[in-house]
Amino acid sequence: MEFNIHEAKTNFSKLLQRVALGEEVIIAKAGVPVAKLVPVYPEQGKRPLGFLKGEIWMADDFNDPLPPDILAGFLGEDEPEKRVVKKAHQPRSKSKRA
């Protein structure tokens, strides 16, 4: 809901009750929004250390460097040219006939 400054000052307690129920209230000056009243939710407690132990798996190579093509994508660069690796020519062995 939107209220002008005069209405907000006059009915501030009522607006706070609405906000406490979860409603957001906009306060406007000359029809231009200048403030928003929103509910404040209590902070959740800190999570205990290790509460997900045994439920998360991380690869052994997690910290290894990224392959060049994936790294280039993160850096916004063109994908590096892929090198064609030729196998060394191995002469055929001559089989002996019996």
Task: Kindly report, residue by residue over 69-90, the tens digit of the pLDDT.
Answer: 888 888 888 876 666 666 666 6
Whether this model's pTM surpasses 0.85: no
Q: What is the mean pLDDT of residues 39-49?
A: 85
In a domain, 65, yes or no: no
In a domain, 29, yes or no: yes
In a domain, 18, yes or no: yes
What letter represents residue 76's amino acid?
Answer: G
Specify the number of domains making up the chain: 1
C-alpha pair distances (Å), 50 with each of 3, 11, 34, 58: 48, 48, 44, 15
In a domain, 12, yes or no: yes
Structural domain for 18, as ranges: 2-37
User: With pLDDT > 90 as the criterion, what percentage of the chain qualifies?
Assistant: 45
